[in-house]
Structure 1
Amino acid sequence: MNASRLTSLDTPHPPMPVGLLAAATAARASMVERLVADGVLTDPRLREALLRVRREVLLPHAYVRVSGPGADPVGWRLLDGSHPGDRAEWLDLVHSGESVLLQRDGEALTGLGRGPVTGGHMTSMSTYTPATVEVLQQLRLQPGQRFLDLGTGPGITLALAAAVIGPGGATGVERDPHMREFARHHLDRLGLGAEVVEGDALDGHPTGAPYDRIHSGIGVPCLPRAWAEQLAPGGTLLTTLTTRTPSWPGQLSVTRTPQGGLRTLLRGRPRGYRPLLGFRWLTAVDHRDRITADPGRPRPTRLPPPADDAHGFWVAAAYLAPGLVRDFQAETMTVVAPEEDSWAVAGPGDGTVRVHGPRDVWAELEGLHDRWHQAGRPDTYRVELPDGDGPQHVTSGTGPKALTWTLPPCPTLPRQPSSPAGRGSLDSLQEGT
């Protein structure tokens, strides 16, 4: 391993070389131009914030995976943005829009060795930039608002919010001590007036409540009561509702009316935030070789593979056909029930499907698709929030044909350990499981 070490947070950071500062500014402008050209970025205030917030300060290093799929242990290479040999690659990665991997297994973030490392799991990373932009635009940030960021990680979302709303209005909650100090140190360098406090994201931050905007960078199985209680009249909250499958996430928005009531809207999305550590996802990866060798017995189907963007159907499938996960890397639609050793492989439009195992995965999707169609093909759902700690129910509407289900109770969610902590990742539809 290269003996070079990253700068300690206790050591004054040297000024950035003039040439690197110019290169970073140009890379940031190019990133913003791409977001505008792709139709992702439309808010002029957020555009100015993206140009202003120096990502290279908040993301001073990055892990790059160097081993192929299925490798165990995984091989990584740590890029040090202060090292001349890493700067070009690091600068491109930081402004690529992709997630930037920052922390393995809750490690301390000072004195990291530049170069190759082996093993470990990523426990903190930045968010895919287009998703960050989408969320912040949905929140309609305005100067003077109070903003709470839950599970703030390295602070990209928090910094952008602070740049829009102004000093003193943006607070992030981070439990992992290493990531918390890392974010504080680099946010202070930017001088945006953003604060990072210690705490468990599930508890929000009652000291600074109420908030006009609340953003959760972690997925939760239901809405924590504390979050709703800390939302100001007229305020909006956004979070991911997570299930055991990463394939079909839902985004929950909650608005508190001026009269104090709560309005909710659940919609399926192509990507969502990872859940808190300890929440175990299903995966199709371990079945790939077996499915390739034996896709299953063919049978006719009345259901062509539903479109990827039929998010209203897929988010319902996450709840009403539980235990399924999709392999988005497969050539044709492949849905697996890993705990029942069952799967379905849809044909390429030939009216057949292959099924394997004791659970007829495709028959469940056929039946659910019929119910979804009878319910009016809903794109959105309402979450009914009780006054106390009772169950939270989801419904597509009224009447006997409405799709309904009950969310898992929040108290069953594993609480964040003091270390490690996973933050800030969004898993896209295309990234699979």
Structure 2
Amino acid sequence: MTVRTDTRWDAAFWHQQIVALPRARFLPDLIWPHDMSTRSARAVDRRSDPDGWQAATRADVPVVTQWDDGRHTGTEPGTTPTSSASMPSVVATMLEAADLAPGQRVLEVGTGTGWTAGLMTRRLGDAAVTTMEVDPDVAAAAKNALGGTGLFPRMVVGDGLAGFPDGAPYDRLISTMGIRDIPAAWLEQVRPGGLIVTPWGTQYSNRDALAVLTVNDKTTATGLLLQQLEFMKARSQRHVHPAFAPDLTPVTDTTVEVDPSLFDRWHPFVFIAGLLLNDTTHAVQQHDDGGRTLWLYALDGTAWTAALLRPEATTATIRQVGQRRLWDELTNAHTWWCQGGEPGFGRLGITVTSTGWTAWIDTPDHPMSKS
């Protein structure tokens, strides 16, 4: 079992390529750049605001190009962003992590605008790149944009979670969408010693980490989680909120001293919690008075918890419902993490098989114990 730890990637090359092949060449007239400070999007139309559009394409922010799987109309943001052009810095990081070299063959899952496929094609050549997109309209626009730049990778319309066996084995597989379960097809279609580079996370939150996994024997892969990301999720792996029976028991109400960081939706521990809690998801509700409620849900619908933290308070009111004590599981996980030195990205890793995953710290023989 091999763990890739070398981070000396060819950063200069990819930054040069991003300048030479700017993402503006792959974007439609109407886009929704993401404001990182407010976590909101606004419409920018090249036809009415060419300068604003150009500035948005050059900014190091993600740009939404489709809402609600294409059902959205108009200029106001839709409900769910479903296709985008990623931040240039993130694209560069992922391509660096993939360690691409001439002579390799790569499968990209999630063509999107076609920009990442274009960058890889410039590096490897048309015949070496296969890119898959599940949405026919998004694929058609990407194909036109790629052709307009003189690049012609193999374009496949289909579910990238199944891979594309006709082109296998691949030296690299790069996913540009968030994944919750690594498909067995990916392990089978990447050669032993090849890399899978993908945003990966758990159902606990919408957060992802950049996973760089070395395929071992077509049934397992292992590697580090290098940095936190947040990508649109594979359509078939989007989170579905669990349903609960109305008469769950037992019900326990307590008031306890709390660490306010548990109620912070952007705290680093949010991702860690997903590695430590089994089959659990959460949400943080902000109240008008500045208070917050942390909701915890068992994915099978057998338990839930509500923890209310009022403004400036150091104690929270906890209601735990169902057989699992989800608040206790969360606080036990948080205590373990703090006492262990708060290990973070670069030390965290996963080993995946066709049936699941195991998280570890530093090396695969130091697994994280899940609740």
2:257 to 277, 300, 316: 300
- Is it true that 1:224 corresponds to 2:189 in the alignment? no
Deviates more, 1:224-233 or 1:370-379: 370-379
- Is it true that 1:355 corresponds to 2:317 in the alignment? yes
1:122 to 62, 81, 86: 81
Q: Which amino acid aligns with 2:28?
A: P
Q: Matches of 2:33 and 2:56 in 1, distance apart?
A: 12
* 2:133 aligned partner: 174
1:97 offset after TM fit, Å? 2.0
* 1:275 aligned partner: 233
* 1:135 aligned partner: 94
Q: Superposition pairs for residues 184-203 of structure 1, below 5 Å?
A: 184-203=143-162
Structure 1 SS opposite 2:177: strand
1:100 to 26, 46, 63: 63
- Give TM-score, length-normalised by structure 2: 0.73
Q: Matches of 1:271 and 1:264 in 2, distance apart?
A: 19
Q: Which amino acid aligns with 2:235?
A: L
Q: Kindly tell me: are residues 44 and 280 of structure 1, through their superposed partners in 2, closer, same or farther at Cα, counting changes over 3 Å?
A: closer
1:373 offset after TM fit, Å? 5.6
Structure 2 SS opposite 1:168: helix
- Is it true that 1:53 corresponds to 2:15 in the alignment? no
8 Å CA contact retained: 1:393, 1:405: no
Q: Kindly tell me: are residues 270 and 297 of structure 1, through their superposed partners in 2, closer, same or farther at Cα, counting changes over 3 Å?
A: farther
Q: Kindly tell me: are residues 65 and 224 of structure 1, through their superposed partners in 2, closer, same or farther at Cα, counting changes over 3 Å?
A: closer
- Is it true that 1:63 corresponds to 2:31 in the alignment? yes
CA deviation map 1:316-375 (0-9, x unaligned): 24x437122346999798633368361354987x8x242343357654322112344677
Q: Kindly tell me: are residues 279 and 400 of structure 1, through their superposed partners in 2, closer, same or farther at Cα, counting changes over 3 Å?
A: closer
Unaligned runs of at least 5 residues, structure 2? 1-8, 35-39, 242-252
Q: Superposition pairs for residues 10-409 of structure 1, below 5 Å?
A: 43-64=11-32, 77=43, 79=45, 81=46, 83=47, 85-107=48-70, 116=75, 121-256=80-215, 262-265=220-223, 267=225, 269-281=227-239, 299-301=256-258, 303=259, 305=261, 308-309=267-268, 313-317=272-276, 319-320=277-278, 322-326=280-284, 335-337=294-296, 340=304, 342-345=306-309, 352-358=314-320, 362-372=327-337, 379-385=347-353, 389=354, 391-396=355-360, 402-404=367-369
Q: Kindly tell me: are residues 62 and 245 of structure 1, through their superposed partners in 2, closer, same or farther at Cα, counting changes over 3 Å?
A: farther
CA deviation map 1:178-219 (0-9, x unaligned): 111100000011113323212211111111111111111222
Q: Matches of 1:362 and 1:157 in 2, distance apart?
A: 41
Q: Which amino acid aligns with 1:396?
A: W
Q: Kindly tell me: are residues 366 and 147 of structure 1, through their superposed partners in 2, closer, same or farther at Cα, counting changes over 3 Å?
A: same
More strand by share: 2
8 Å CA contact retained: 1:152, 1:158: yes
Q: Matches of 2:163 and 2:351 in 1, distance apart?
A: 20
Q: Kindly tell me: are residues 196 and 399 of structure 1, through their superposed partners in 2, closer, same or farther at Cα, counting changes over 3 Å?
A: closer
Q: Matches of 1:266 and 1:157 in 2, distance apart?
A: 22
Q: Which amino acid aligns with 1:357?
A: R
Query: Across the two proteins, how many residue pairs are aligned to each other?
Result: 331
Q: Kindly tell me: are residues 281 and 245 of structure 1, through their superposed partners in 2, closer, same or farther at Cα, counting changes over 3 Å?
A: farther
Give the CA RMSD over aligned residues: 4.1
8 Å CA contact retained: 1:151, 1:217: yes
Q: Which amino acid aligns with 1:343?
A: A
- Give TM-score, length-normalised by structure 1: 0.64
8 Å CA contact retained: 1:394, 1:405: no
Structure 1 SS opposite 2:261: coil
Q: Kindly tell me: are residues 281 and 382 of structure 1, through their superposed partners in 2, closer, same or farther at Cα, counting changes over 3 Å?
A: closer
